[in-house]
Structure 1
Amino acid sequence: MKENRKNTLNVPNLRFPEFDSNWEEKYLSELMTFKNGLNASKDDYGSGYKFINVLDIINNDFIKHDCIIGSVNVKEADFQKNIVEYGDILFQRSSETREEVGQANVYLDEETPSTFGGFVIRGKKKADYNPIFLNYLLKTASARKEITSKSGGSTRYNVGQETLSSVKITTTIIEEQNKIASLLSKIEARISTQNKIIEDYKLLKKGMIQKIFNQEIRFKEKNGNYFPAWEEKKIGEVFEVTRGYVLAVTKMTQSSDTEYKYPVYSSQTKNNGLTGYYNEYLYENAITWTTDGANAGDVKYREGKFYCTNVSGVLLCKKGNANPCVAELLNSVTHKYVSYVGNPKLMNGVMANIKILLPSIPEQQKISSVLSAYDKKMGIESEYLDKLKSQKQYLLQNLFV
């Protein structure tokens, strides 16, 4: 590919070498005709034709018949009037935020058509374009800005058929569209494969955990004998049960440096609960769990020195019981003790009274080594996945005008 260092109007930063003509502005109405979806009575939903709704647009990279959530029972004539076929583009009609209104997705099922709902606008293909290319183009910052800037509303933002007809995009000849679509599809397929690899490792680890914790797999001492029988213990008998402290986001940094080097953990699911970095730490080599909110009961082993917020409980033990093995043992049972009266919660007193079967510390160390090996491999695969996603993002930012 070639890079255009002196980018001129209507030329992307990155191109295949065989293309050098300017891209052209076109109205979406030159490429497709628009129609609102059908509205049925509530008794008609749940069976019949697959029925594309807003969640199908938002939750998928592209839409195929089998991934559509809902269905609707309508007459054949109504289905044909509202048919969705390969290459059609679906738009979200309204949203509570301007940033999300008019989100687009493409229907890529060549075998089975579908229909669509009243909160969706269908763009029926009438001109030559590569559907995959157009799907990516409509997700670029410039295309999103063109759509959202034309949306109307105050408490809820909307786009209509006339709005979408007036949207201008910058596109290229079909041959270049095909090349770009092919490249991005290959990147997408590799990302999908990488996700599958990581999920497979997660399943392998889960299966191993089940066999170890059911004691189908046992470990032996150096003399060849099995380690001692596991003993039932209350968490409060083995650990000091405490929790983290409030820390304002403004006091953290989002990346580590020589001063702000201690990770701060909270209740969020992304980045393994990592919220930022701080210049002080509270604990070292301990087990944490989420005390409040949607992730209440989630247990993690935290290696090294760290800070954690007040929605994290902490288990401290100087005798060696704080390790990945015990964290996984706990994680397999703690969710049964979460209270769902009001906000989900698993507080210190409840945690302290949970009983689990504990292996001896030497066997815990053996089990922890096995589990850590899985985690290390998944970490390597996850890093590669992040690189693939960064590569895709770079291409999306530079292959379009």
Structure 2
Amino acid sequence: MANKKLKVSNVPNLRFPGFNEEWETKKLVDITIKVNSGKTPLGGEKAYKASGVHFIRSQNVNNGRLQLENSVFISESTNAEMKNSVVQANDILLNITGASLGRSCVVPRNFKIGNVNQHVCIIRFKDNYDPRFVEPIMASEKGQLTFKSLQTGSGREGLNFESIKGISLDLPEIKEQKKIASFLSLLDERIATQSKIIEELKTQMQGFHKKLFSQQFRFKDSNGNYFPDWENKSLLEVCQKKSSNLSANKIEDNFGKYIIYGAAGVLKKIDFYEEENDYIGIVKDGAGVGRLFYCKEKSSVLGTMDIIKPLANTDVYFLFYLLSNIDFTKYVTGSTIPHIYFRDYKNENIEIPSIEEQTKIADFLSSVDTKIDNEIHILHKLEEQKKYLLQNLFI
């Protein structure tokens, strides 16, 4: 793949060998045969069927993929009444209203037939224009900024067909379009596979968690014997709570090497820390109340969080997984700003094994967590690679 400056100006930074022609700038209206959306069928949701013709809504168009797992259907007769919005294989579907505005996908080659509602736009191309080349442009940062600039309505929440048709695209000849599209499709498949690996690991983790804490699965000691029976205790008997008085304003101009956690996770790094050892942070005020974080040594939390620390004979990793089993929503108070207080959940009944079995459980579950984190890291690298390619394979 070449990465050099050419004499011609209208070319991308990266090109596959064998392609030298300058790209042409064209409007979407000049390279398409259809740009329109559908409508809600007569009768609304009452017209939906258990089977029939797929009726595609904005939630089915999800970041490069047509997701039909939770789709609804309309009858053949209703589809015939809405013939102007029949979806075909290789169409681009673009969400044009609401929070998902700008999301797009290419309809798979093996797709049979479907229809769309008024929130999804069908874009169908003329010959010599590859939708799998154009869709990544729409999904790119540049494409999303274009859609944002074209929004109309009192709340700037919609795209109209004329503005979509007027979008300018820089396009190579069809062979180069297909080369780029094929390459990006392979990368998308790798990203999809990596996402599936992560979801499967998370599902496995849920299963392990359930079986270990219900004692369907027990570890044994070095002699092959089960550890002692688990004991019934209150949460107060295995951990203690500590408060923080740090506010975001207090550390606004503070920078350093020590992590401070907030309601969404790592907030920033500052030049001091309040906790010497690992602990659990729990959001006690506002959005995300009850959310747990495993917090590493030499760190701090904001005052909107409490610090939960293990008492003697309690493994901190095990305590984190134990707390993950508790439904903290039942302890939430306050309607405007929700809160949870340790005094309310400290008497939660729990079952706890010996420290030796706690360590076994914690080591096992943390190894699965580490595996998930490693796979997520790989996914982020693939996504970064795609972002770089989108910035450099296109104009």
Instruction: Give TM-score, length-normalised by structure 2.
Output: 0.87
2:247 corresponds to: 247
Q: Which runs of 5+ in 2 are unaligned?
A: none
Q: Is the 2:274–2:298 contact (alpha carbons within 8 Å) kept by the matching residues of 1?
A: yes
Partner AA of 1:53 in structure 2: R
- Aligned partners of 1:153, 1:289: CA distance in 2, in Å? 41
1:80 corresponds to: 83
The correspondence of residues 281-320 of structure 1 with structure 2, limited to 5 A, is: 281-283=273-275, 284-292=277-285, 295-320=288-313
- Aligned partners of 2:189, 2:322: CA distance in 1, in Å? 35
- Aligned partners of 2:388, 2:271: CA distance in 1, in Å? 33
Q: How far apart are residue 325 of structure 1 and its match? A: 1.4
Taking structure 1 as reference, are residues 192 and 253 closer, same or farther at Cα in structure 2, changes over 3 Å only?
farther
Tell me whether 1:156 sits opposite 2:156 in the alignment: yes
- Aligned partners of 1:250, 1:128: CA distance in 2, in Å? 59
Q: How far apart are residue 373 of structure 1 and its match? A: 1.7
Taking structure 1 as reference, are residues 377 and 228 closer, same or farther at Cα in structure 2, changes over 3 Å only?
same
The correspondence of residues 99-248 of structure 1 with structure 2, limited to 5 A, is: 101-222=101-222, 225-248=225-248
1:262 to 241, 251, 258: 258
Taking structure 1 as reference, are residues 228 and 28 closer, same or farther at Cα in structure 2, changes over 3 Å only?
same
Q: Deviations over 1:74-100 (max 9, x none)?
A: 62422322101112223333347xxx7
Taking structure 1 as reference, are residues 147 and 76 closer, same or farther at Cα in structure 2, changes over 3 Å only?
closer
Q: How far apart are residue 327 of structure 1 and its match? A: 1.4
Q: Is the 1:278–1:307 contact (alpha carbons within 8 Å) kept by the matching residues of 2?
A: no
- Aligned partners of 1:162, 1:293: CA distance in 2, in Å? 43
* Identity score, percent: 30
1:349 to 335, 343, 347: 343
1:385 corresponds to: 379
Q: Is the 2:218–2:226 contact (alpha carbons within 8 Å) kept by the matching residues of 1?
A: yes
1:358 corresponds to: 352
Q: Is the 2:294–2:320 contact (alpha carbons within 8 Å) kept by the matching residues of 1?
A: yes
- Aligned partners of 1:384, 1:10: CA distance in 2, in Å? 34
RMSD of aligned residue pairs (Cα, Å): 2.9
Q: How far apart are residue 399 of structure 1 and its match? A: 0.6
- Aligned partners of 2:373, 2:141: CA distance in 1, in Å? 31
Tell me whether 1:324 sits opposite 2:317 in the alignment: yes
Taking structure 1 as reference, are residues 146 and 225 closer, same or farther at Cα in structure 2, changes over 3 Å only?
closer
- Aligned partners of 1:274, 1:136: CA distance in 2, in Å? 31
Taking structure 1 as reference, are residues 8 and 361 closer, same or farther at Cα in structure 2, changes over 3 Å only?
farther
- Aligned partners of 1:250, 1:227: CA distance in 2, in Å? 48
- Aligned partners of 2:145, 2:210: CA distance in 1, in Å? 49
- Aligned partners of 1:122, 1:225: CA distance in 2, in Å? 64
Q: How far apart are residue 196 of structure 1 and its match? A: 2.1
- Aligned partners of 1:6, 1:249: CA distance in 2, in Å? 51
Q: Which moved more, 1:350-359 or 1:20-29?
A: 350-359
Taking structure 1 as reference, are residues 67 and 103 closer, same or farther at Cα in structure 2, changes over 3 Å only?
same
Aligned to 1:208, the other structure's residue is in SS state helix
Taking structure 1 as reference, are residues 310 and 8 closer, same or farther at Cα in structure 2, changes over 3 Å only?
farther
Q: Which moved more, 1:9-18 or 1:381-390?
A: 381-390
1:46 corresponds to: 48
Aligned to 2:55, the other structure's residue is in SS state strand
Partner AA of 2:316 in structure 1: N
Taking structure 1 as reference, are residues 6 and 261 closer, same or farther at Cα in structure 2, changes over 3 Å only?
farther
- Aligned partners of 2:224, 2:93: CA distance in 1, in Å? 64
1:376 corresponds to: 370
Partner AA of 1:36 in structure 2: S
Q: Is the 2:238–2:311 contact (alpha carbons within 8 Å) kept by the matching residues of 1?
A: no
Taking structure 1 as reference, are residues 91 and 243 closer, same or farther at Cα in structure 2, changes over 3 Å only?
same
Count of paired positions:
388
Taking structure 1 as reference, are residues 348 and 8 closer, same or farther at Cα in structure 2, changes over 3 Å only?
farther
2:271 to 266, 279, 288: 279
Q: Deviations over 1:30-49 (max 9, x none)?
A: 12222232233325443253
1:395 corresponds to: 389
Q: How far apart are residue 365 of structure 1 and its match? A: 1.7
Q: Which moved more, 1:382-391 or 1:318-327?
A: 318-327
Q: Is the 1:92–1:121 contact (alpha carbons within 8 Å) kept by the matching residues of 2?
A: yes
- Aligned partners of 2:296, 2:78: CA distance in 1, in Å? 61
Q: How far apart are residue 292 of structure 1 and its match? A: 4.2
Instruction: Give TM-score, length-normalised by structure 1.
Output: 0.86
Partner AA of 1:279 in structure 2: D
Taking structure 1 as reference, are residues 136 and 351 closer, same or farther at Cα in structure 2, changes over 3 Å only?
same
1:36 corresponds to: 37
Q: Deviations over 1:335-372 (max 9, x none)?
A: 46343873655322222121111112222122222222
Q: Deviations over 1:42-82 (max 9, x none)?
A: 2544325322223333x342225x34634445624223221
- Aligned partners of 2:358, 2:177: CA distance in 1, in Å? 56
Q: How far apart are residue 328 of structure 1 and its match? A: 0.9
